[in-house]
Structure formats: structure tokens, C-alpha cells
Amino acid sequence: MRFTKMHGAGNDYVYVNCFAEPFPTDPAALAIAVSDRHKGIGADGLILICPSEQADARMRMYNADGSESEMCGNGVRCVAKYVYDHGIAKKDVLRIETGRGVLSLQLFIEKGKAERIRVNMGTPILKSADIPTTLAGDPPVKQTLHVAGRDLQVTCVSMGNPHCVTFVPEITDEWVLSVGPQIEKHPAFPRRVNAEFIQILSPREFNMRVWERGSGETQACGTGACASCVAGVLAGLTERKVLAHLPGGDLELEWAETGEVYLTGPATEVFSGEW
């Protein structure tokens, strides 16, 4: 099986071109194997680039633990880059089918390659039952979540996958590596949840780290950054257009007045090989 390693702001996945390769018989087991950073290729998960009847390509995403996720903002940018750079569809605007639906992506081309990509991530899901969470509120803003022996004020948003955003004075390993896993599996989130920790720097800028459902801490999370942008507006802490600083790089975010969230950031191809 041929594969390509790619990352968006450090959020790295193993990509397989299923236009040319057969769809894996057990993609969950393959995701676990290739993601292992000691005995595999090493990645946050596996993404399959597949034919689509309604778009230029379809993205199927599997976390490092083998669970399938609905959406990945950094991953879909890399899918668009691959589709363009490898000649599957040579368009400046691509449509990619995801578990969230069909998304539109604008490609910024430099020297024949897609370098930065702007994704219309669609409108955020703000109804508690649809996120899903048992916390009150539509949307659930600054709700109390008892976890790790403390009461947190959290804001929950779905971008096709669920997110729980906590605003903290300073982001520490204690928050991300200790509290994060407990939030992920908290009973208030029936399908588990991604846990974001946000330090506000100004109304237009914040630092962010994330504990991702099924993968642990990652260098970046596109849907998490979008959810944090929305949560910042809902909580009255940020403007609708913000710059997010993540361990793997920066992402530009905008929650437009029309309701859609836009994510702009890099997409990088690292190497290809055979598994």
C-alpha cells in the first residue's frame, strides 16, 4: 500500500489515495498500526482519500485508536492539497465530502502547489442534544462541569464533531494531559469529546492546546480551533475574527455574520512510502 505523510500545522496523518489503492479491509486496525510512533509510521491517525459521487473527493478519517471521526479541519486541507498537487482535480476551489457533509475549499497556489487553504467549515452546531452533551443550554455557554475534583466553566460547540472549550489563565500540562483525558470521557458527553484549553491574549488572538478524542494531545486541531473561535464569541471574550496559536503553528479563523466558520492554514506534504 502506497501512502503519503502530510500535516496541517503539525496535525499529522497518514494519507492513502484510494483512487489508486484498494480501500483497506480493516481501516480501524490499519489506523492503529500506522499511527504507532514507535512501531509504525507515526501519526495522529489515518485519512483515506476516496472517490465521491457528489464532490471532487471523499475524506474518511480514523483516529490513532481506530475510531472513525466525522471531520478534521487540518486533515481536509491536506486532502485538498493532495487532490490538487497529485492531479486528481486541478481546481482552485475544491469540494470535499466529509462526515460533516460536502465542504468547499479555496486553494492558494504557489509554484504549482497548494500551500495555504481556506475551508468553509459550515455553521456550528449549538444545540446541546446535537453536539451531543447533557449540559444545559442551546448553546451551552459557561456551563459548570465537575471534573478532576474541580468545577470548570465550559462552552460546548460541534463542528461536525464535539468540542468542550475551557478558558484558562495559563495553559499547562496539568490542564491538557491530566484534565483533558477526563473531559474526553466525562459522562456529560455520550460520544466522548475533544477538550480545548484556551488562553486569551486579546479579543483577536489566543493560545490553544487540545486533547483530541481518540488521539490524545495533537499539535493542532482545525475543528477545535473553529469551535474555540465560536466559543470565544459566545462567551464574550473574542471578536469573530481571530488568530489561534497552536504548538504546530498558527490558524486564521472567522465566524462570519452569515453563520459559517472559515479556517485558513497551511498544508504540507512530508514524504511518501510503501506500507
Mean pLDDT throughout 14-23? 98
Integer angstrom CA distances of residue 75 from 7, 11, 32, 183, 229: 7, 8, 17, 23, 19
**137 and 255 assigned to the same domain:** yes
Give the active site residue among 78, 164, 221, 226.
Answer: 221
Mean pLDDT throughout 17-42? 98
Long-range contacts of the stretch 23-27 (C-beta < 8 A, 24+): 23/48, 23/50, 24/48, 27/60, 27/62, 27/68
**13 and 70 assigned to the same domain:** yes
Give the range of the structural domain holding residue 208, as residue numbers without chain letter: 128-259
**156 and 206 assigned to the same domain:** yes
Predicted TM-score of the model (pTM):
0.92
In the chain, the percentage of residues whose pLDDT exceeds 90 is 99
- Which CATH number belongs to the domain containing residue 145 in this structure? 3.10.310.10
**17 and 53 assigned to the same domain:** yes
**79 and 48 assigned to the same domain:** yes
**53 and 20 assigned to the same domain:** yes
Give the active site residue among 72, 156, 226, 229.
Answer: 72
**27 and 70 assigned to the same domain:** yes
**97 and 189 assigned to the same domain:** no
DSSP string, 190-211: TT--EEEEEEEEETTEEEEEEE
The whole-chain average pLDDT of the chain stands at 97
Is residue 72 flagged as an active site residue? yes
Q: Is the model's pLDDT at 70 over the cut of 90? A: no
**101 and 135 assigned to the same domain:** no
**58 and 106 assigned to the same domain:** yes
Question: What is the DSSP-derived secondary structure letter of residue 233?
Answer: H
H/E stretch holding 228: helix 222-234
**45 and 96 assigned to the same domain:** yes
**62 and 165 assigned to the same domain:** no
Q: How many domains does the chain have?
A: 2
